[in-house]
Amino acid sequence: MVELIRELKLGRRVNAMSNISAPDWEVLRTKGADWDIFDGVFTSAAAGKRKPNLDYYRHILKVTGADPKHTIVIDDKLENLVTARSLGIATILYGTFENTERALRNLCSNPISSVYEK
């Protein structure tokens, strides 16, 4: 997933959103992960709100200045996507990497050429 994000990021901002506690985030951020792929990491602890709360998404849109019509949220919980979609945000339900990759390519690039280049 990291390589896919790096590939599709070109000129786009990518943020992470997580319903994580402050202590858990402090531990997780020190782990060997590719946090540099994200322009920002938004935790529910810092925002004082959690997904699927509508105010959580509004908060992130306001802080980032992102246009909901040009925003994609990927999540493994349908209820989190329903809220995002109510704001006009495109959503992808994460089930498998392959399906998520296909959906992202459909939204971000030319899905046909990417499939045949592999």
Residue 72 · residue 91 · CB < 8 Å: yes
- Overall number of domains in the chain: 1
11-22 confidence digits (pLDDT tens):
899 999 999 999
Residue 56 maps to which CATH number? 3.40.50.1000
Q: Can you tell me the distance from the alpha carbon of 115 to that of 103, in angstroms, rounded to the nearest whole number?
A: 12
In this model, does residue 109 exceed pLDDT 90? no
Q: Which domain holds residue 76?
A: 2-117
In this model, does residue 58 exceed pLDDT 70? yes
In this model, does residue 113 exceed pLDDT 50? no
What percentage of the chain exceeds 90 in pLDDT?
A: 72
In this model, does residue 42 exceed pLDDT 80? yes
